[in-house]
Structure 1
């Protein structure tokens, strides 16, 4: 996975001050370009149809439809689109719904700027990202219908939190190659190819909960 040299971002939020603040924050990183903005779901649908983007930052509380429904519509229309929810709501059901809708991450608006940057880069590189406050609530649940080992379940929970192979290896004090082996085994057992699909499946099957 690699991050494009320049990341084209759209801000979808109904508050001008919030959009201005996020745009100003992201301008500190030369490889981020805020190329479009919208304050409603209808405007967002129009700009996505006409603008080349790498990622959308979407708020939940929009003027016409909520950001979760907008995410679902966009993911249905444009498979492979990358959406990061940026919200003030630390709400488990919202996070769960955002994942089912197709979002690849969820960051709280009170998070530090470095967290938002990490989320954008992780998602554009092909991964997923959730604010640590939310990720800590991810817990391993029932595994009756699949045959993952305890270690595989531990790795799965860490991947769902958005950790990469090196970070998982560091936390578990194992080699990166061993993490890759666990990751391959998990994907093979679940018949899943992408990190985003892995998180979505795990939530839907009760393997992890928020």
Structure 2
């Protein structure tokens, strides 16, 4: 974050104690302004309209709308809004679903406060961020599997459509460097370099409809 950029941030969590704690943590972070909060999904949808935040911290366990479904709705209605999932769940399926929902990161609630701050900075600057524990699991799962992660499937799909790195970064709302990293990882993992072979792989594995 540049010194002159004010990040408008909002919180969505059904526990007021959690919201109070995060607000207190962020009160000492320069250039971060907590502009709103909500305790459920319905409240979040209204709050985003009125407060216009740049970044939303969202819990998964909300009393009305699942936080991941809320993320999908918000990203559809407000494409420029960035979302960080802040959850107690470390299960891989939640993390994978958060990627498919359009979240830019996933941080565990028991993570050190510096990770939350680092996540805000990374996402604000166009990147992604995952708690160290989550990132380790993702890397381990990826290393033990021949399948691509949901995000890499998205990148491969855009590659097959002929988009360049800048275009993919804009469409997927990630940084150009992240796109480059995914492209390199896809080629290494599949041991495929030719564009036509990548397209064939995408079709054969249902990433691109036949």
Q: Same fold (TM over 0.5)?
A: yes
Distance 1:100 1:4 in 2: 32
Residue 57 of structure 2 aligns to a residue in which SS? strand
- Correspondence list, 1:87-166, <5 A: 87-137=87-137, 138=139, 139-140=142-143, 141-142=145-146
1:176-205: CA deviations, max 9, x gaps?
xxxxxxxxxxx9688452237859x88xx9
Q: Which residue of 1 aligns with 2:67?
A: 67
Provide the residue aligned with 2:7 in structure 1: 7
Bigger relative CO (Cα 8 Å, ≥ 6 apart): 1
How much is the aligned-residue C-alpha RMSD, in angstroms? 3.2
Contact 2:12/2:40 (8 A) holds in 1: yes
2:30 and 2:129 map into 1 onto residues whose CA distance is 21
Q: Does structure 2 conserve the Cα–Cα contact (< 8 Å) formed by 1:58 and 1:86?
A: yes
SS at match of 1:136: helix
Contact map agreement 1:3 1:125 (CA 8 A) in 2: no
Count of aligned positions: 165
CA distance in 2, matches of 1:26, 1:72: 25
Instruction: Show the counterpart of 1:42.
Output: 42
Within 5 Å, which residues of 2 pair with 1:183-202? 191=163, 193-194=168-169, 195=174, 198=179
Structure 1 unaligned spans of 5+: 145-155, 161-186
**Are 2:71 and 2:103, in contact at CA under 8 Å, matched by a contact in 1?**
yes
Deviation (angstroms), 1:30? 2.4
Deviation at 1:55, TM superposition (A): 0.2
Contact 1:123 1:129 in 2 (8 A): yes
Separation in 2, partners of 1:51, 1:198: 31
More helix by share: 2
